[in-house]
Structures are given as C-alpha cells and as structure tokens.
Structure 1
Amino acid sequence: MKQFSLFLVFIIFNSCQYFDKQVPSEKELLQKELKAINWKEVDEYPSVPECEKITDKKLRQQCFFEVMGQLIEAKLDIDTLSILYPELDTIEVKVTVFPNATMKFEPQFPKDTVAYDTIKIDSILHARLVDFPKVNPAIKRGIPVKTQFILPVIIKAKDQK
C-alpha cells in the first residue's frame, strides 16, 4: 500500500506539467493562420455553367478563360470597333469577378497609346459588354472572393468573318 501511495504521489507531481503549458493567445493563432494562407491562389476559380462539369482545377480555369474570351469576342464582333480602328487586332480586357457574381470590364491600353481614342473604345466596350450569363465567383476557404484577370480579346475585321 505504501508503494502504491508513493506511486500515486509521483504521478500527481509529474502530471502538473500538463496543466502548466501556455495556451497560445487568439491573436497569435490568428496571425499564424493568416501567414499560412496563400493569398495569391484561390481554391476554386470563377466558373460558368459550361465549365461546371470539369473537376480538374487547371482545366476548369482554362475552360472559363476560353468561354469568357469567346463571349467577349462575340459581343464585340457586332460593333464598329474593327471599322474605326482597323489596325487594332487585340485588346487586353481586365475582367473583375466580384463575390456577388457581378463582373466589371476595363480595357487595358499600353501607356504610350496615342493612336487610339481610348475613351471612345472604353465607352464602346462598356456599352457592348453587358448581359453575360451567370458567373460563379472564385472561392477561397469556402467564401466567395473577388478575382481579377486580363484576357486578350481578338477583334475580327468585318471581312475576316
């Protein structure tokens, strides 16, 4: 019995080390978690219904870019952009997909562009790039997030159809 009580006392004194451990503060845990997150990548890229069946992340992203490029090209194909600026064959469009599934389109022109009336091109793009199909926003850790990307859009001349 004396050995048992000695053993019990030994266990109690050794178990105290389990109670003295410091628990990290909430701020420390938050900072550690925030540093672990890669903010440059999303878990799921934006998507359109045509690409929903694709499970591979890269193929789904590629599908989305192709569909968006085709939709933008089709909307600009019926415009006078190719007539006004026949030398303009490609416009880079910055596409922003917001968490509420709305989109914004901004043409990107080189800094030294003086050959084009950028305000006129911008207004044509804003008038034409409306009524897109539903786009599911990008997902990061289960939450919809804003994403931006630049798409090169090919402007077809009327005689190239």
Structure 2
Amino acid sequence: MTTPEDTGSAPKKPSAIITIAVVLALSAVAAGGGWFVGGMLAPQVEAAVQPAEAEAHGGEAEGEAHAVPKVVALDAITTNLAYPSENWIRLEVSLVFAEMADEAMAQTIHQDIIAYLRTVSLQQIEGARGFQHLKEDLTERAALRSQGKVASLMFRTFVIE
C-alpha cells in the first residue's frame, strides 16, 4: 500500500482556471441578484417620486400657493443655568413652522426658551442623552406654546461655559 508520503508527491492543488471560474460564477450570481432586487425596488421608488414631482411642478404651473414650511431664526440666547449658577449657556435655535411663520409667536417662544433654560441644571443636559432630552423638551414646549404651528426646533449653536 502506497501513500502520498511514500511516493513523495504532494496532494494536488486546485488549478488557477478552476478558481477563476468559481469567482466568475459567483460574480455573475451576485450581479443577477442585484439586478433582480433593483428591478423589484425601482417601481416602488418611481411610484413614490412621481406624486411629489407632479405636486411640485403642477402647483407652479397652475399658480397655486402651497403652504411651505418656513424657518425662523431666533436671536441668540445667553443665560445662566439653575445649578451651578456660574455656568452659562448660549444657544441659537431656529423654529420650523408647519404653515406660515408668525413672528410674534416666535418671540413668545424665544422668551419661553430663556425662562426654561434658567430652570435647567448642568447635570440634566450633560452628555448626548441630556442634549437629546433638552432638544425634545424645547421642541415640545415650542409646539405647545404655538398650539402645533411649530413643527420642529433646530439647534444652530450650543455652548456651555
């Protein structure tokens, strides 16, 4: 009985041609799968884009006025925190109104934000989670104060000293 060790020959390695053929076959399967999935998703994307384009172009052609969200940049807010009182906060925010912007309402919200920030402690707004809670609180207060006219609140700057 002879074994490969006895004959001195090493086991055969797969040839380069077989390796290339396997890689090409797998590439063809991957390309075909991508084409198939893309074909399934493309009609859904087109269906979602067409109404938006028709609304945008149709409104311009007919001359109809659409309610476009308006962004109002509030004046910079600088105030001290509740605790520790030697820490100051400076932020600039913008309000996104769902309908036409109301400057008087924006100024009321500006004053409300200042009053709220004076009740906040540094520990409450520390870290990413604290910042997220602050943003949610300010957005909720703005929406309540405006009776739902403010859709969101955007931070432009946020500094604590």
Calculate the TM-score normalised by the size of structure 2. 0.25
Calculate the TM-score normalised by the size of structure 1. 0.25
Q: Which has the higher contact order (CA 8 A, sep 6+)?
A: 1
- Find the structure with the greater CA-based Rg: 2
Q: Which has the higher helix share?
A: 2
